[in-house]
Amino acid sequence: MMKEKGADLPMWAICQHEFFRLFKSIKSLITVAFIVGISYLVSDLVNQAASFLPQKELAQGHALGIFALIMLFGPLFVFSLSHDVINRELAGRTIRFLVTRTSRNQIIFGKFLGVAFFWLTCMIITFGVVFATVQTFDAKTFYLCVSLLIYCISLALLLSLVIPRPSYTMFLGIVIALILPGLGLWSTFSSHPAAPWIKYLTPFSFMEKGGAWTGFIWLYAAAFLIASMYLFRRRDC
């Protein structure tokens, strides 16, 4: 019988391992370089157009490139890099090493925090490049981008528990990443009777409303995490 709890492999060790594993991946580095590069180019273009824009719009324009990029491709970036965060361990049977040394809840939290810190670092680097270029920092856009990424990370974690094979989650993750922004945009502007209900299943309607509504994105993320912990406790490793 597998040991459920232990103290010799803390959650932070799992978190650090996942964090550094992502930064060692060539695919991750290319993704980060792409995000930073596009953000820099947009900021530079806005900076060059400064004489044609009002000062208020100019301040928001520098972060517009990052916001559009994360809105449209953020889910794709997260699912392509983290679709197998749990089922990779299951397929390689390395999960047996983890579950005998720490609790299953700590494994889920450690994996989640490792991926979340990776994307938080990417956003800090990206916004840092924009700040170094134009000396403006849009805290609201930063918060919205991080909220969307946290939603996607939690959903990817749940997906990797529900689907056992990494190859399947790779395909399904890309499909979800493409459908999610499309569904969000469609439900926001469509007059279809189902649109008002469907839009609340995606994070984009809450991002559009802003303010306290963005808290629902974090509630969704918490629900995905709780579902992941519940499924993992019932799973035979």
18 assigned to some structural domain: no
- Let me know: does 159 contact 69? Beta carbons within 8 Å: no
Let me know if residue 85 belongs to a domain: yes
Contact at 8 Å (CB) between 130 and 39?
A: yes
How crowded is residue 136: how many other Cβ atoms within 10 Å of its Cβ? 17
In a domain, 179, yes or no: yes
Residue 4 confidence (pLDDT): 45
Note the pLDDT tens digit of each residue in 76-115: 999 999 888 998 888 888 888 888 888 899 999 999 999 9
pLDDT at site 54: 59
Residue 224 pLDDT: 96
How many domains does the structure of the chain reveal?
1
> Which residues of the chain are modeled with pLDDT < 70?
1-9, 47, 49-62, 237
- Judge whether 217 and 207 are in contact, CB under 8 Å: yes
**Per-residue tokens: 161:** 């528990």
Assigned domain for 195 exists:
yes
Nearest to 152 by CA among 175, 173, 121: 173
Residue linked to tokens 């273009």: 45
- What is the structure's pLDDT at 117? 96
**What's the whole-model pTM score?**
0.87
